[in-house]
Structure 1
């Protein structure tokens, strides 16, 4: 039987939709009302908290897919963000995993983050699953610390651990910066991003979910770490052009050199935004492909079209 945490989140909900009809699926949600789309008998209310008692939810569970987390936010209002990330993402996760091992679960699939590897790469030198982690922000640090604690627990108990580090995930219903990008393109706003020659890896929701499902029971996934992307890296300019095409819009991209944008951002105190728009972040998924015999089933353009279709449907409401 499979337990999915964070089942009403962006990734968790899509995963549960994929597993719908599975005769051995249980979901964990913070808010029982938010989980009403599932069968009531398969929903448990539980918070990712160091004090949470997971034992009732873990009865009969053989595999946990842990999607729940305190996620990265742009303007964190916590007094001590790192402490709060650690409380939820490290201590809360370890509480769940420890009780899962005690309950006899055989595998724990942990949805981590590429932020464990770092924030940027040199073009042509992508992150790999084997290189030393170098997290920078509190979210990335908490995910790395959680990985280390889970590895220790796995070694002590024999419960198999699978770690998946996604890059930026997009798909129908995506929020935050990706949604802002679509809004700009839809409205025809002129954007000074027509001459950006970086390279960034992305992963569509469908491709990430497909990998997670593969890792639920693949024998060669045990005790491995996998990076995941669509397998095609895009510059910011290319992404805007192809997203515009998916939206049926003509992009208005001004060819402002990246160095000018970075200089302006520095004076405005927005270096992090410039880094995401102008910097590179690539991952090498060859280990994922070779170890699991896995290939991203959905192309970038198909995934962008699906994302755009959902966005356009929302505009009509």
Structure 2
């Protein structure tokens, strides 16, 4: 059934993919944006707001809306220059989220889907001991703490008002348009740079952009999603070595991987002040999506290799322009 849906962050990496998925499913989408990109799908309506904080007025954008999908956030920052990073994250990720939720309740919105983060669960897992959706949260940084506080506030509001809250915690998201470390990895592989990651025996859960968008749209529609928390991944966990090998294959390049032991890599990275990066490359972070599959009947529509090909083709098209 078609719904009128307000989507925040509709021009972002995740939000733009969610918007396309919703429009393709026949929903009416109101894209809540501070700046309207020229590439915005003309099928979407636009609600313009000036600033995302605890005072943002949402009433005009919420008129007739049945579901809100909240994708906008202050995202994880590697080298944060804020004097008080937690306060900065709270202004956007907690105060702005709960302000939107309270106004949604007043407008008669039935459901709010909140895109949170796996950082609410923690920073890593022992291999073969994945996080589950209902594990006790253990955030370790200001970003993860702010997301947990937003989740807690939304659940409290749901208990008080009857608003249906659905929480989705993605792992690392990749796909066309990806930036940061994943983009750097594709550049290294494309240029044939030898990399010291040929002997990493870890496991990482990833989620393709298309798979995440599909699940978020499902959470807006499915009756069983109400007041649940879901973890999302591609359903196949990879070592860093396997990830690089399969992405190189998608790029049509050989993977020049040197078999440097992971323990040595971590020691060297720590000595160079890159401990967090070494943890992401050598450590494990796995999630169990059994609840997501069983409760929603959801299966990731894209395989890892299909999703890698999409990311690789997008990268190559932009690089060869």
Alpha-carbon distance in 1 for matches of 2:275, 2:39: 42
Q: Is 1:51 the counterpart of 2:55 in the alignment?
A: yes
In structure 2, stretches of 5+ residues that fail to align are none
Q: CA RMSD in A?
A: 1.2
In structure 1, stretches of 5+ residues that fail to align are none
- The aligned residue for residue 250 of structure 1 is 254
- The aligned residue for residue 92 of structure 2 is 88
The answer to whether the Cα contact below 8 Å between 1:25 and 1:42 also exists between their aligned partners in 2 is yes
Q: 1:299 aligns with which of 294, 297, 303?
A: 303
The answer to whether the Cα contact below 8 Å between 2:201 and 2:241 also exists between their aligned partners in 1 is yes
Deviation string, structure 1 residues 58-100 (Cα, Å, up to 9, x no partner): 1111100100000001111111111000010000000000000
Alpha-carbon distance in 2 for matches of 1:38, 1:204: 21
1:305 positional shift: 0.6
Q: 1:215 aligns with which of 203, 215, 219?
A: 219
- The aligned residue for residue 288 of structure 1 is 292
Would you identify which runs of 4 or more consecutive aligned residues in structure 1 move more than 6 Å? none
The answer to whether the Cα contact below 8 Å between 1:3 and 1:58 also exists between their aligned partners in 2 is yes
- The aligned residue for residue 123 of structure 1 is 127
1:121 positional shift: 0.1
Q: 1:224 aligns with which of 216, 228, 252?
A: 228
1:99-114 paired onto structure 2 within 5 Å: 99-114=103-118
The answer to whether the Cα contact below 8 Å between 2:23 and 2:43 also exists between their aligned partners in 1 is no
The answer to whether the Cα contact below 8 Å between 2:200 and 2:239 also exists between their aligned partners in 1 is yes
- The aligned residue for residue 138 of structure 1 is 142
Q: Is 1:239 the counterpart of 2:243 in the alignment?
A: yes
3-state SS, counterpart of residue 87 of structure 1: helix
Alpha-carbon distance in 1 for matches of 2:38, 2:100: 19
1:38 positional shift: 3.6
Question: Quick one: structure 1 residues 270 and 299, their matched pair in 2 at CA, closer, same or farther if it must change by over 3 Å?
Answer: same
Q: TM-score, normalised by structure 2?
A: 0.96
1:217 positional shift: 1.5
Alpha-carbon distance in 2 for matches of 1:43, 1:224: 29
Question: Quick one: structure 1 residues 41 and 307, their matched pair in 2 at CA, closer, same or farther if it must change by over 3 Å?
Answer: closer
Q: TM-score, normalised by structure 1?
A: 0.98
